Structure 1
Amino acid sequence: MKIVHTSDWHLGHSLYGRRRHEEFRQFLSWLMELVHREGIEALIVAGDVFDSAVPGTQTQSLYYDFLREVTAAGSPCRHVVIIAGSPDSPAFLDAPAGPLSSMHVHVTGRARAPEEEVLALDGPDGETELIVCAVPFLRDRDLYRAKDGDAMDARDRLMAEGMKEHYRLAALEAERLRAGRDIPVLATGHLFATGGSTSGDDGVRDLCVGSLGQVEADVFPAAFDYVALGHLHAAQKVHGEERIRYTGSPLPMGFDEAGRRHEVRILTTNGAKVESCGVAVPEFQRLERVEGDMEAIERRLDELSAAKESVWAEVLHTGEENVPELRRRVEEHVSGRLEVLRIRNARLLPEGMDADPEQDDLEELDVEDVFERRLREAYPERAPKDPELEELREAFRETVAAVREAEEESCAS
């Protein structure tokens, strides 16, 4: 059996104001071609399907059109398993679960009991050929109920134990369904495994289960023949274990990822044995960071302008000289299909003060990050999950969704 593991699509993501709908369309088209070319029988999407909790209508159309096509008559893909990631709305993903299940698309938005999360997927002969523990992003309330007076270290320990217990129970249910047969058990997860690598502007949102930032590899029982992870955008294995892997995002989410290999993984099963290999995703839109002193920047911009290839660039001035009209100097060397999306001076803030390396650049935050920080500033005494704050967050998400929808309709017309 052949299976594709992919994650962190972030459909609807924009890069410093530029919409990326065409890139996502090309990626999904390429993925569809891979499914047909390689005879892929199951597809696993390990979270962060969308870039926001309430995606716009154009972004939703991409998602549902792909699911319709990948499960259509003539497609080798018999099953699609999708879990929610940290920015995904569990309710939004779960809402069409009934109709999607009739297409053999299995969605787990919110955490559930083991008998609901663990899927026994049948082959063409009606016999179970694959078991998937479809564990989504686990939120605080899925793991631990806080009590007054709980010390922080005790809370962290109980949260970690809650996650390990969740996977232990899923593994027990999977073994019950496997019933000694020589078929593989796969598990999913959307989390930050200890030792995982990230890059500066790769778009990975802070992930914290309570104050538990990372989890150890031993959270995954040996019963899992492969663990398909999402959240980190660089393809990597966890603590050197071939069976526990991130595929990373298929598109670069920031200029720190420019030039990095992006991939999906093809899993091949032989009985319960699972082998995997990475397949590189093509570059649909070239990104490049142009950095150095002013002379080096101007020279490289001239080269990119003359290349007549569509390039989105970030300019980072790292020279010692003071360049008060940096933007004007940059724009004088931009032509053709080159677009500069971002200009930064590594030495100076816009006001001319010394740059603070720990100060966040507003351009690196999305609107939900900015709103969340403003909430914390306005209501420092409130608990993060205060019901009134949750209502404000929901109202904000609805407003953002309406604005994005209006933008998409404007672009489409």
Structure 2
Amino acid sequence: MFKLLHTSDWHLGKELLGESTIEVSRAMLEWLLGVCKERAVDGLVVAGDVFDVSTPSNQAQKIYYGFLARVQRTGCRHVVITPGNHDSANFLRAPAEMLSQRGIIVSGPDPESEAVVLCDAAGRPELGVAAVPFLRESDMRASVEEITEGERWALYGRGVAAHYSRVRAALERKMGESSAPRIATGHFFATGAAVTPDPDTGEAPVTVGTLGAVPVSVAGGDWDYVCLGHIHRPQKVGGDAVRYCGSPYPLSFREVDNSSQVVLVTLRGHGEPPEIEPIPVPRFQPMVRLEGDADALRAALDRVSREQPGAWVEANYTGVSEQLELNEELGSLAGRLGVRLLAVRNQLAFRKALEATADAVSLHDFTPEQVFLQFLKDAHADEASTRRMLGTFREAAALVEADRAARRASSRDDGPAQPQPKESK
């Protein structure tokens, strides 16, 4: 019997509307250590997105390595970590040789290395793991010119399936005749997965991160359990033993209504159905998304301050009058009430800004940053908020441009037989 704990999407070091989540992450990791000890966990799998950015802060690294230094004291003998799309695989793998001496495996960078066999003290295999990280579209050679989005992700899916097939072959070779269970990891958007919809439009995105959906069958069959990451909402996909565990805490206000969990999986022999137990994760930091006109928001802030002291709040103003001083008024009220108002979203100002821009000139006459600045001006954002949001906008724009540059470079490296992809807008 092997007790496996499945978790993913920690996003250590994330800032939420300018607020550090480091203490939330610290509390979550302390709780996770307790679960490993109390439930006698043999192995822990982190299915991608350990960090929120590729170059995490010193604080984020400190709590990560602090956790790894203590996890074996709980009795957990094995840890398998796979890089996600937010991670730098090279950064995570840099100390891999040292970590492996403590039973901590960081997977990759090739199918042979991703075929991981966890052994008991006598050297007998007790779990085989296809520890597959996030697979970039460019690495799967899926980008070609003049194809539809559906064809694009079908090509990507075939590349991912071929990769899993190679990992499975390497794993079976290493496992030999062992009857120990086999599991796989994955960090992708599976077809049919429920994605948190946009809170304003109610629409679910067709891509998550930079990925479109691919069938969960790309991971292959005959696995005793599949640990998925990338989608933050916990759920089964295509079977009871194929699951997203979700993020252990909300990573945006659109996720505040999602449940948070890790999944305890008790595995026996290969081919035997596992016992699966979702374990709810406590909410370490109260988060509330409020909506309504000015009076409704004032009343809601008062209620939240009594029911959830210290909560982080996003207020979505849906009234019909402009309320030019609403940001400052609600911020002052929240401060007096002891809650932290992180953002006020003004739907009326947003609509008017779009209408004014559309009536006056074509968007093609402006750079994206100029359009964003005009929106901030029309939304009556204060100077501090403008600086903060503009900084975030520039970071996002830089990431988009870096991704486009990488795609162009990859296409050039492929030579004339691999034409450049069309850039999506």
| TM-score computed with the length of structure 2 as normaliser | 0.80
The answer (yes or no) to whether the contact 1:305–1:336 under 8 Å persists in 2 is yes
- Specify the alignment match of 1:107 in structure 2: 106
Taking a change above 3 Å as real, the CA distance of residues 18 and 367 of structure 1, as seen in their structure-2 partners, is farther
Matches of residues 7-46 of structure 1 in structure 2 within 5 Å? 7-46=8-47
Which of the two has greater helix per residue? 2
Post-superposition CA distance 1:340-374 (Å, at most 9, x none):
00001122229755499xx9999596764221346
> Mind listing any 5+ residue stretches in structure 1 that lack a counterpart?
390-413
Letter of the aligned partner of 2:280 in structure 1? A
Letter of the aligned partner of 1:244 in structure 2? V
Matches of residues 192-203 of structure 1 in structure 2 within 5 Å? 192-200=189-197
Q: Does 1:116 align with 2:113?
A: yes
The answer (yes or no) to whether the contact 2:302–2:337 under 8 Å persists in 1 is no
Distance 2:393 2:242 in 1: 30
Quote the offset at 1:296 in angstroms. Answer: 1.2
- Specify the alignment match of 1:386 in structure 2: 409
Post-superposition CA distance 1:235-277 (Å, at most 9, x none):
01113x1121101111100111114210000010122232211
Taking a change above 3 Å as real, the CA distance of residues 163 and 21 of structure 1, as seen in their structure-2 partners, is same
The answer (yes or no) to whether the contact 1:290–1:315 under 8 Å persists in 2 is yes
- Specify the alignment match of 2:253 in structure 1: 255
1:134 to 119, 131, 135: 131
Quote the offset at 1:233 in angstroms. Answer: 0.4
Distance 2:6 2:394 in 1: 29
> Mind listing any 5+ residue stretches in structure 2 that lack a counterpart?
200-204, 358-370, 377-388, 413-425
1:185 to 182, 185, 206: 182
The answer (yes or no) to whether the contact 2:54–2:88 under 8 Å persists in 1 is yes
Matches of residues 149-168 of structure 1 in structure 2 within 5 Å? 156-168=153-165
Distance 2:198 2:302 in 1: 25
Distance 1:183 1:347 in 2: 59
C-alpha RMSD over aligned residues? 3.1
1:371 to 393, 398, 404: 398
Q: Does 1:143 align with 2:145?
A: no
Matches of residues 308-327 of structure 1 in structure 2 within 5 Å? 309-327=309-327
Paired-residue identity, %: 35
Post-superposition CA distance 1:118-176 (Å, at most 9, x none):
111012332110000110111134322768x7866776544322111111222223333
The answer (yes or no) to whether the contact 1:308–1:336 under 8 Å persists in 2 is no
- Specify the alignment match of 1:395 in structure 2: none
| TM-score computed with the length of structure 1 as normaliser | 0.82
Taking a change above 3 Å as real, the CA distance of residues 39 and 315 of structure 1, as seen in their structure-2 partners, is same
Letter of the aligned partner of 2:323 in structure 1? V
- Specify the alignment match of 2:365 in structure 1: none
Aligned length: 374
2:169 to 162, 169, 172: 172
Distance 1:48 1:375 in 2: 19
- Segment of structure 1 superposing worse, 295-304 or 53-62: 295-304
Quote the offset at 1:23 in angstroms. Answer: 0.8
Distance 1:19 1:253 in 2: 11
3-state secondary structure, aligned to 1:328 = helix
Q: Does 1:215 align with 2:214?
A: yes
The answer (yes or no) to whether the contact 1:313–1:341 under 8 Å persists in 2 is yes
Matches of residues 286-305 of structure 1 in structure 2 within 5 Å? 286-305=286-305
Distance 1:355 1:117 in 2: 53
Distance 1:271 1:355 in 2: 65
3-state secondary structure, aligned to 2:349 = coil
Matches of residues 63-78 of structure 1 in structure 2 within 5 Å? 63-71=64-72, 74-78=73-77
Distance 2:187 2:307 in 1: 40
Letter of the aligned partner of 2:5 in structure 1? V
Post-superposition CA distance 1:212-252 (Å, at most 9, x none):
x111022122221111011010001113x112110111110
The answer (yes or no) to whether the contact 1:201–1:254 under 8 Å persists in 2 is no
3-state secondary structure, aligned to 1:348 = helix
Matches of residues 223-262 of structure 1 in structure 2 within 5 Å? 223-239=222-238, 241-262=239-260
Distance 1:375 1:7 in 2: 25
- Specify the alignment match of 1:407 in structure 2: none
Quote the offset at 1:186 in angstroms. Answer: 0.6
Distance 2:353 2:221 in 1: 56
- Segment of structure 1 superposing worse, 288-297 or 6-15: 288-297
- Segment of structure 1 superposing worse, 183-192 or 122-131: 122-131
The answer (yes or no) to whether the contact 2:118–2:127 under 8 Å persists in 1 is yes
3-state secondary structure, aligned to 2:342 = strand
The answer (yes or no) to whether the contact 1:265–1:276 under 8 Å persists in 2 is yes
Distance 2:319 2:210 in 1: 37
Distance 2:329 2:351 in 1: 15
The answer (yes or no) to whether the contact 2:142–2:155 under 8 Å persists in 1 is no
Letter of the aligned partner of 1:64 in structure 2? Y
3-state secondary structure, aligned to 1:316 = strand
Distance 1:112 1:93 in 2: 15
Post-superposition CA distance 1:73-116 (Å, at most 9, x none):
x43111100000001111101111110010110002x5403x32
